[in-house]
Structure formats: C-alpha cells, structure tokens
C-alpha cells in the first residue's frame, strides 16, 4: 500500500492529534499557523521524500501551509526536551491502535472471554525489541553490523507494554549491537508483585528469572537450548546424573503415550536451582512441516 499525504492525515485524525498537542502543551497558541498535525505530517512527508534533517522537515512544513516561512533554526527551537510529553502521548496512541488492530473483530467476544483469565495478574508486561535503519551519518550513535559498503547505522528500540491497559511501561533507544540479552535485567526496575512478564528466549537469564521470583512476579519464556534440567521431585544432589532430565526424552515419552502437551515441574540450571513449570504443546503437523523448511 502506497503511503501519501491523505493517508497520513487520515491516520493522524484518528488519533485526535490536535487534542493531544494541546493537552501536552506542544501547541499553546490558538492563532498559530502551525498545529500538531502539520508538524507530524511534515515529518512523515520528509521521510517519504528521503530527507532526514531539520532543513528537510521545515521545507515540507512550508509546503503544507501557504505563506509559512520556517527556518531549521526555528524548528530546532520548537523541538526541545520539554516537548517530549507530546511524543510519549503519540507513542501510547500508536501502540493502542496497533494492539487493538491486531484482533479479528469477528472474534472480539471470544478474545474478551479469554482475556479475563489475565485479570488475576497485576499487569501483563510484554517486552520485545525492533531494529530500524537510520542514516549512516548516525553510525557513531547507532553502530550497526559491518558491511562491504562501509559504515551503517541501525537503532534498536526496546519496548515494554502492558497488555491489560494497552499502554507502554518502558521505552529505551540503543544501537543494533545492544542485544536483548543485555536488556534482560532492565525489567527488574519496573516490575511489581503480581506482574506477569512475557519475553522470548533472547532475554533468557536464570539470574533475572530468580530475581523476578523473589519480587513475587511471574514469567513466561521460550526454552533456551543447552540449559540443564533436573527432576524437582528427587532430593538427590545435582552431581548425580540420574537426576538430570533431557528434553528430547521427555517429548519422546509424551509422544509414545499419545500426549499432545507436557506440563511438568522441573528445576533449571545446575547452580541456580530455579523451580519452574515446563510446558510443551505439540504443533499441528502442517505447522511443524512449515517450520522445518
């Protein structure tokens, strides 16, 4: 789908940008030539035209408003840290639209019914990251992987959202080289008792899992291959190999019994000794075959 000015304007109208820009004091003058919608439309039109500087941005805004004269210095004065509240407001609106738009309207009632199961948690925190290519002249701030074409720049956005309130709880900006593992402990600064933390195995850390448990939080993570598993029902010390479990054998045993799920209490790690539930669900054959391609 080709993006143009009308589509950008339509999306911004759905967010009620003018109301947000005034509520956050991004726009104070009622009689000003530039409103919040103009700022944002000009920004996205700049990106679509291939620009990435304040000069490009100000030129796009001048095209949107008849008789407007705006220098890059004037735009820079407007964009200060005291206006970050407007950016945060816009981020929340965007996230809410993305989260709500991901559900099939035909299954809304079914989703609401299943979502009630999550009400036993204080918050359901989903943490993930995404990488965005930025102009190569920003490589000093956002170093990327090395390429034959020379320096490149990639920013990594770490975002933690609360699925129960459709809002974000934490946001950080780093480079491509700041991997998820390095951000694993960041969740400890915002969790509260009763929270459920959802993350993929890139954030895997037994130390962090242990601290989440100590903070009376719950967590759900994909299993990381190579981590030692032990039977939680035996009292034998970890030096006894007959206590160690092997995931392949557990799954094979369940398969022979015709079981499609495994739900077993185990202990993770030879040193950390973290008691958790191991849950495995057999994929439909069609899905399994696709994943092997």
DSSP codes joined into one string, 6-30 = HHHHHHHHHHTHHHHHHHTTS---T
Pick 234 or 200 by higher pLDDT. 200
Does the pLDDT at position 32 exceed 90?
A: no
Residue after which a domain boundary falls, among 65, 88, 111: 88
- Tell me: do 186 and 235 sit in the same domain: no
Residue after which a domain boundary falls, among 192, 222, 252: 222
- Tell me: do 136 and 206 sit in the same domain: yes
- Tell me: do 135 and 76 sit in the same domain: no
Q: Where does 28-166 show beta strands of DSSP type E?
A: 124-134, 153-162
- Tell me: do 126 and 214 sit in the same domain: yes
Question: Structural domain of residue 76, as residue ranges?
Answer: 5-88
Q: What does the pLDDT read at residue 107?
A: 56
Place of tokens 């130390």: 207
**17-41 b/e with 16+ CB inside 10 Å = b?**
beebbeebebbeeeeeebbbbbbbb
- Tell me: do 130 and 210 sit in the same domain: yes
| CATH code of the domain covering residue 216 | 3.90.350.10
Mean pLDDT within 148-155 = 80
Q: At what angle do helices 5-15 and 84-101 cross, to 10 degrees?
A: 100
Q: Does 98 map to a domain?
A: no
Strand partners, 245: 229
| Of 17-26, 38-47, 80-89, 148-157, the least confident | 80-89
- Tell me: do 149 and 201 sit in the same domain: yes
Q: What does the pLDDT read at residue 117?
A: 80
pLDDT averaged over every residue in the chain: 85
Confidence of residue 215 (pLDDT cuts 50, 70, 90): very high
Phi, psi of 234, deg, nearest 5:
-100, 150
Mean pLDDT within 252-272 = 90
- Tell me: do 176 and 229 sit in the same domain: no
Pick 95 or 126 by higher pLDDT. 126
Mean pLDDT within 73-87 = 81
Does the pLDDT at position 178 exceed 70?
A: yes
Q: Which residues contact 195 (CB under 8 A, 6 or more apart)?
A: 121, 122, 123, 124, 125, 217, 218
- Tell me: do 215 and 230 sit in the same domain: no
Place of tokens 């964009």: 79
Residue after which a domain boundary falls, among 206, 222, 238: 222
Strand partners, 209: none
Specify whether the CB–CB gap between 219 and 209 falls below 8 A.
Answer: yes
Q: Does 102 map to a domain?
A: no
**Three-state SS for 73?**
helix
Q: Does 162 map to a domain?
A: yes
Q: Does 107 map to a domain?
A: no
Pick 203 or 232 by higher pLDDT. 203
- Tell me: do 231 and 218 sit in the same domain: no
Pick 142 or 5 by higher pLDDT. 142
Does the pLDDT at position 229 exceed 80?
A: yes
Mean pLDDT within 122-150 = 86
Share of residues in the chain with pLDDT > 70 (%): 87
- Longest CA span, the chain: 82
| Of 13-17, 119-123, 240-244, the least confident | 240-244
Q: Where does the chain show beta strands of DSSP type E?
A: 124-134, 153-162, 167-175, 196-199, 218-221, 229-231, 244-245, 261-268, 274-281
Q: Does 131 map to a domain?
A: yes
Distance of CA 10 to the CA centre of its chain: 25
Q: Does 157 map to a domain?
A: yes
Strand partners, 268: 229, 274
Q: Does 133 map to a domain?
A: yes
Does the pLDDT at position 111 exceed 80?
A: no
Pick 180 or 10 by higher pLDDT. 180
Confidence of residue 22 (pLDDT cuts 50, 70, 90): confident
Q: Which residues contact 103 (CB under 8 A, 6 or more apart)?
A: 111
Total number of domains in the chain: 3
| Of 19-28, 239-248, 284-293, the least confident | 239-248
Q: What does the pLDDT read at residue 2?
A: 64
- Tell me: do 290 and 254 sit in the same domain: yes
Specify whether the CB–CB gap between 160 and 169 falls below 8 A.
Answer: yes
Q: How far apart are CA 35 and CA 55, in angstroms?
A: 18
Q: Does 215 map to a domain?
A: yes
Does the pLDDT at position 75 exceed 60?
A: yes
Mean pLDDT within 218-244 = 76
- Tell me: do 129 and 210 sit in the same domain: yes
- Tell me: do 75 and 53 sit in the same domain: yes
């Amino acid at each position: 789908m080709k993006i143009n000015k009308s589509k950008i304007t339509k999306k911004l109208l759905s967010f009620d940008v003018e109301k947000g820009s005034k509520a956050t004091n991004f726009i104070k003058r009622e009689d000003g030539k530039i409103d919040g919608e103009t700022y944002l439309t000009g920004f996205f039109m700049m990106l679509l035209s291939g620009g990435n500087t304040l000069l490009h941005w100000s030129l796009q805004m001048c095209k949107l408003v008849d008789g407007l004269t705006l220098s890059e210095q004037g735009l820079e004065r407007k964009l200060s840290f005291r206006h970050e509240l407007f950016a945060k407001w816009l981020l929340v609106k965007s996230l809410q639209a993305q989260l709500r738009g991901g559900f099939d309207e035909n299954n809304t009632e079914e989703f609401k019914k299943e979502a009630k199961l999550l009400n036993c948690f204080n918050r359901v925190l989903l943490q993930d990251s995404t990488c965005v290519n930025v102009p190569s002249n920003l490589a000093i701030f956002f170093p990327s992987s090395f390429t034959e074409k020379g320096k490149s720049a990639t920013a990594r956005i770490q975002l933690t959202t609360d699925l129960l309130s459709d809002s974000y709880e934490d946001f950080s900006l780093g480079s491509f080289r700041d991997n998820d593992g390095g951000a694993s402990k960041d969740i400890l600064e915002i969790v509260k008792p009763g929270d459920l933390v959802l993350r993929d195995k890139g954030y895997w850390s037994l130390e962090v899992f242990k601290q989440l448990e100590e903070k009376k939080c719950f967590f759900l993570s994909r299993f990381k291959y190579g981590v030692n598993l032990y039977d939680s029902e035996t009292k034998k010390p970890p030096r006894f190999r007959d206590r160690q479990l092997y995931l392949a054998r557990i799954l094979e045993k369940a398969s022979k019994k015709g079981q499609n799920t495994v739900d077993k209490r185990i202990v993770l790690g030879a040193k950390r000794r973290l008691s958790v539930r191991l849950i495995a669900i057999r994929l439909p054959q069609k899905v399994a075959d696709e994943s092997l391609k």
